């Protein structure tokens, strides 16, 4: 005998599961009830797992996804930044290897007159989390009250912090469930998870960085485009100016994957240097955010060149208890991977590097696992670069040297040295724009 909750409940979870299992369309009332009932723990984890799998296999239409997103938003509070003295814009990335873009982007956009309320998350699996990266800065704290967040946005113009427990609590339960039931890749659930938090956050402009390639959740451009279109539709329907950029994640972004390593690279970008692909994507996203907020006449490249973005970075870090001048953590042990022959680096796979960084301690397998601030992978060459036999290709960093063996296993077949003619044609950093 099964029980789905008190007799006063409006629907039966099993009926809803069957409807989606049989490729039916869920009504607005069914969706509102099942999300609310799951949040109240009336619908059991195993029932929501079955429904999530049915959604993964059979999909949802635009109306269903919109209703699901609205139900997630309704499970918690909504924020309102209309009282700020400047417009707001936010960015969300679907996650990748070496994707430290939020770190230079938030202060850069703030330096151009648009406030950035960046509610970020932690890493899971091979993709790094923005909060984990910033916690490599001594003293920096991720948890801010709403009052602290508003005050910092008004004073500094940028904040990167953890989302409060009141923002889309249904998503927190469902996200954890999806991660352990093989349903992370369900596009309706990815889109509603991301957009419920971003719409509830209350930003006026949202720019989405949808990754595509081996190191991304979306491996093909078709899947990435579908996800991007779905999220843009959700944002537009909710009255948020929403644009998506499809960006390449077949090769790691920049020259570092890890926490403290990526902070150091971000500071280099803010100082006017850094890898060209990181700078290009940071500026592309900044221009979209500024244009959406009515500041398209401002060139963010100027704020990188004249030091204004760096000034905001230092103030943003200090406002959250961090010391922008403190040295970043350094790993106790390193291991160098060298080029096997003379030639050209023809391939460097993002997933292989991401998994290696994860196994070195930069990421976590479960949400409660700790991460190492200094662990990760430093890259000394990118595809197309000439290399000599014995030259360092990668340096692995960790505080636990017994992790090297499994990290090296992850890298097997993940890079290749050959002739210039064998170099895989590099994808553009920005592949497409969807609005």
Return the half-sphere exposure (C-beta side, CA atoms, 13 A cut-off) of residue 162: 18
pTM for this one?
A: 0.92
pLDDT digit string, tens, across residues 280-298: 999 999 999 999 999 999 9
Domain architecture of the chain: domains with CATH? 13-59 (1.20.970.10), 89-165+173-319 (3.40.1030.10), 333-422 (3.90.1170.30)
Length of the chain: 435
pLDDT, tens digit (0-9, with 9 covering 90-100), for 378-435: 999 999 999 999 999 999 999 999 999 999 999 999 999 999 888 877 678 999 999 9
Catalytic residue among 99, 132, 171, 209: 171
Q: What is the mean pLDDT of residues 352-363?
A: 94
pLDDT of residue 172: 84
Q: What is the pLDDT of residues 117-134, one digit of tens each?
A: 998 887 666 677 899 999
- Give 4-21 as a DSSP string: -S-TT-SS-HHHHHHHHH
Task: Measure the CA angle with vertex 162, ends 158 and 168; round to 5°.
Answer: 115
Whole-number Å distance between alpha carbons of 105 and 50: 39
d(CA 198, CA 204): 10
Token digits for 182? 């093989």
Q: Which of 178, 295, 315, 403 is catalytic?
A: 178
Active-site residue, selected from the candidate residues 20, 92, 295, 308:
92
CA atoms of 91 and 108, how far apart (whole Å): 12
pLDDT for 8-38, tens place per residue?
788 999 999 999 999 999 999 999 999 999 9
Which residue among 49, 75, 192, 193 is the active-site one? Answer: 193
From 20, 197, 308, 314, active-site residue: 197
Q: Is there a catalytic annotation at residue 197?
A: yes
User: Angle between the 169-180 and 62-74 helix axes, to the nearest 10 degrees?
Assistant: 120
The Cα diameter of the chain in Å comes to 73
Confidence of residue 367 (pLDDT cuts 50, 70, 90): low
């Amino acid at each position: 005998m099964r029980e789905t909750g008190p007799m006063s409940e409006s629907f039966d979870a099993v009926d809803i599961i069957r409807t989606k299992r049989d490729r039916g369309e869920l009504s607005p009332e069914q969706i509102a009830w099942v999300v609310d009932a799951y949040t109240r723990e009336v619908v059991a984890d195993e029932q929501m797992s079955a429904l999530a799998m049915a959604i993964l296999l059979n999909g949802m239409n635009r109306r269903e996804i919109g209703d699901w997103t609205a139900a997630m938003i309704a499970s918690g509070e909504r924020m309102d930044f209309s009282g700020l003295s400047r417009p707001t814009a936010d960015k969300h990335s679907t996650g990748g290897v070496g994707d430290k873009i939020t770190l230079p982007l938030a202060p850069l956009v703030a330096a151009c007159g648009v406030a950035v309320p960046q509610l970020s998350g932690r890493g899971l699996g091979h993709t790094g989390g923005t909060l984990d990266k910033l916690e490599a800065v001594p003293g920096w704290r991720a948890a801010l009250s709403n009052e602290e967040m508003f005050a910092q946005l008004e004073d500094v113009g940028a904040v990167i912090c953890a989302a409060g427990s009141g923002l889309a609590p249904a998503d927190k339960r469902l996200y954890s469930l999806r991660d352990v039931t093989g349903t992370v890749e369900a596009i309706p659930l990815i889109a509603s998870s991301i957009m419920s938090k971003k719409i509830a956050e209350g930003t006026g402009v949202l720019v989405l960085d949808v990754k595509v390639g081996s190191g991304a959740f979306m491996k093909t451009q078709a899947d990435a485009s579908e996800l991007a279109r779905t999220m843009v539709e959700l944002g537009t329907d909710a009255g948020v100016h929403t644009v998506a950029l499809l960006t390449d994640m077949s090769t790691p972004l920049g020259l570092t994957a890890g926490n403290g390593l990526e902070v150091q690279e971000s500071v280099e970008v803010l100082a006017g240097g850094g890898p060209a692909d990181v700078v290009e994507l940071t500026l592309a996203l900044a221009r979209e955010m500024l244009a959406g907020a009515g500041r398209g006449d401002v060139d963010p490249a100027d704020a990188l060149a004249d030091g204004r973005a760096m000034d905001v970075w230092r103030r943003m870090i200090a406002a959250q208890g961090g010391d922008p001048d403190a040295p970043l953590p350094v790993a106790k042990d390193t291991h160098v991977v060298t080029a096997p022959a003379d030639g050209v680096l023809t391939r460097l796979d993002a997933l292989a590097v991401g998994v290696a960084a994860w196994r070195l301690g930069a990421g976590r397998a479960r949400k409660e696992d700790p991460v190492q601030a200094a662990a990760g992978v430093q890259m000394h060459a990118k595809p197309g670069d000439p290399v000599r036999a014995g030259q360092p290709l990668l340096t692995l960093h960790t505080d636990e040297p017994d992790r090297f063996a499994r990290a090296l296993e992850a890298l097997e077949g993940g890079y290749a040295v050959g002739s210039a003619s064998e170099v895989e044609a590099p994808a553009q950093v920005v592949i497409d724009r969807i609005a």
